[in-house]
Each structure stands twice: as structure tokens, then as C-alpha cells.
């Protein structure tokens, strides 16, 4: 399997860190990253450890590895930029909010982020890990099925890494009241991976007074690739510009 790489565009003194989702890759953020660069922003989109190669590589990693890699990229971006925003999709959106509780940032855009995963099978994970090493990965949940060939996601993920994700989300829930910077939340009204109610849960727990929640009508989970990606681009650019004012 060919390795999927991260990408970066060094442009202006305002930077955007883009963080991909669980089992996904920076490809799901490439179009948005290019649009941000066209508007003069520097963009870093790292490939998180254990991603973009094989599920066997992912098995060797956990949420602290993913979080640490995102934070390292954030610090690299800070060295060349005066202002930095974090924009994340799915788990990447949750990770962006987590980074905001521990780091000095200008703002966060969280796209289709989870907080609580409602699935009856979750309760059996401690047992499943001794029966199954891998479980099905996050589906390519796109309303525009023609875009599926443009992105990469594991068809199966380690059961242990699903447990790692759940542990991270528990940690995140405790951090939400400590986030006081501007936050833009966006979520598809029909999301088959992360239920839309997660967006409202995150919104209500955030400590920030400057926060906005927006639902999209014509996309499923992967908002940065689906039909509404132009709306996502426009809203992200408007959010950054308003914060910089």
C-alpha cells in the first residue's frame, strides 16, 4: 500500500493546522488546505502516527501518539506564524478543541467531531479485544459518492485503537469548559458516523462565549469533501477573518 503523506503550504503569517480523522488521512483535508493557501494562509496538515499505511501500523499507536504529533505540528506552525487556527475533521476536530485547552490559539473549527459514540457494541469492546484484533473502519460517509476515490481510510482498525479513541473522548469532555477562544462547530444534519447531537453536546460544554454551531443540509460525515465543502470553505474563511479583526 502506497503511503499517504501529510502536506504543507507556507504562505502568510497566519497559520492553519489541519487534523484528519480516525483511520483517515490528510487527503480528506487537501481541498480545503489548498483553498486556505490560495487566500494567503500557511497550512500544515500532518499524517498522524499509524495512519496512511496499514492497520498493523496503527496497532502500535494510541491517542497520546496522535495528540503529540498534532501538537508538534502546531508548534512548528507557531514558529513561522503570528496567529494560528486549528481546523479538524471528526476525531481531528475533537483533537483541535483539546489542543485549544492546553495551547495559545486564535480559534478552532471543529467539523463533525464526536464526543459520545452511541453504539451498543461499545460495551463489549473489553471482551472483543480478546476475540478480534481488528474491526471495521470508519465508513466513507459521503453523500457525493463520486468523491470516494479522492480520499483514503482504513477498511479495518485495531479494536485497541477504538478503545484509545474512547479514552481520548472522555479526556476531552473534561477539557471543554477550559476552552475560551472562538470556536466554530459544523456538522451534517445527516451523519451516519457521528450523530449530529454530538455538536450540540460539545457546544453546550464549551467554556467559550464566542462560539457558533452550524448544521449542513447536503453532506454526510466528511464535510470537507462532500457537496457542502464550498460552504465549509466560505464559513472557515469568514470565521478566521472575523477573529483576526
- CATH code, domain with 99: 3.40.50.1820
- Looking at the domain assignment, is residue 146 inside a domain? yes
pLDDT interval class at 1 (50, 70, 90): very low
If one counts the domains in the chain, the total is 1
pLDDT of 40 over the 50 cut? yes
pLDDT of 2 over the 60 cut? no
pLDDT interval class at 119 (50, 70, 90): low
- Looking at the domain assignment, is residue 161 inside a domain? yes
Work out the average pLDDT over 43-67. Answer: 97
Work out the average pLDDT over 129-156. Answer: 88
| DSSP string for residues in the chain | -PPP--EEE--SSEEEEEE--TT--GGGGHHHHHHHHHTT-EEEEPPPTT-SS-HHHHTT--HHHHHHHHHHHHHHHHTT-SEEEEEEETHHHHHHHHHHHHS--SEEEEES--S----GGGGGHHHHHHH-SEEE------SSGGGGGG----SEEEHHHHHHHHHHHHHHHHHGGG--S-EEEEEESS-SSS-THHHHHHHHH---SSEEEEEESS--S-TTTSTTHHHHHHHHHHHHHHHH-
| Prediction pTM value | 0.95
- Looking at the domain assignment, is residue 108 inside a domain? yes
Q: What is the pLDDT of residue 30?
A: 96
pLDDT digits (tens, 9 = 90+) for 173-222: 999 999 999 999 999 999 999 999 999 999 999 999 999 999 999 999 99
- Looking at the domain assignment, is residue 201 inside a domain? yes
The whole domain housing 191 covers 7-244
- Looking at the domain assignment, is residue 65 inside a domain? yes
Amino acid at each position: 500500500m502506497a503511503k499517504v503523506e501529510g502536506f504543507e503550504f507556507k504562505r502568510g503569517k497566519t497559520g492553519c493546522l489541519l487534523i484528519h480523522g480516525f483511520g483517515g488521512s490528510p487527503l480528506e483535508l487537501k481541498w480545503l488546505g489548498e483553498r486556505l493557501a490560495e487566500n494567503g494562509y500557511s497550512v500544515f496538515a500532518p499524517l498522524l502516527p499509524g495512519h496512511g499505511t496499514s492497520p498493523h501500523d496503527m496497532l502500535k499507536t494510541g491517542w497520546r501518539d496522535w495528540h503529540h504529533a498534532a501538537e508538534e505540528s502546531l508548534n512548528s506552525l507557531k514558529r513561522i506564524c503570528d496567529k494560528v487556527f486549528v481546523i479538524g475533521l471528526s476525531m481531528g476536530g475533537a483533537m483541535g478543541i483539546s489542543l485549544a485547552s492546553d495551547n495559545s490559539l486564535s480559534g478552532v473549527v471543529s467539523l463533525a467531531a464526536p464526543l459520545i459514540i452511541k453504539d451498543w457494541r461499545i460495551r463489549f469492546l473489553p471482551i472483543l479485544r480478546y476475540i478480534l484484533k481488528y474491526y471495521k473502519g470508519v465508513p466513507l460517509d459521503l453523500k457525493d459518492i463520486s468523491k470516494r476515490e479522492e480520499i483514503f481510510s482504513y477498511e479495518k482498525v485495531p479494536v485497541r485503537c477504538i478503545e484509545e479513541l474512547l479514552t481520548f473522548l472522555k479526556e476531552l469532555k473534561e477539557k471543554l469548559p477550559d476552552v475560551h477562544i472562538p470556536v466554530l462547530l459544523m456538522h451534517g444534519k445527516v451523519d451516519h458516523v457521528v450523530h449530529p447531537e454530538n455538536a450540540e453536546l460539545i457546544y453546550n460544554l464549551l467554556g467559550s462565549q464566542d462560539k457558533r454551531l452550524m448544521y449542513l443540509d447536503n453532506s454526510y460525515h466528511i464535510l470537507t469533501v462532500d457537496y457542502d465543502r464550498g460552504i465549509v470553505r466560505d464559513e472557515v474563511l469568514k470565521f478566521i477573518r472575523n477573529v483576526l479583526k
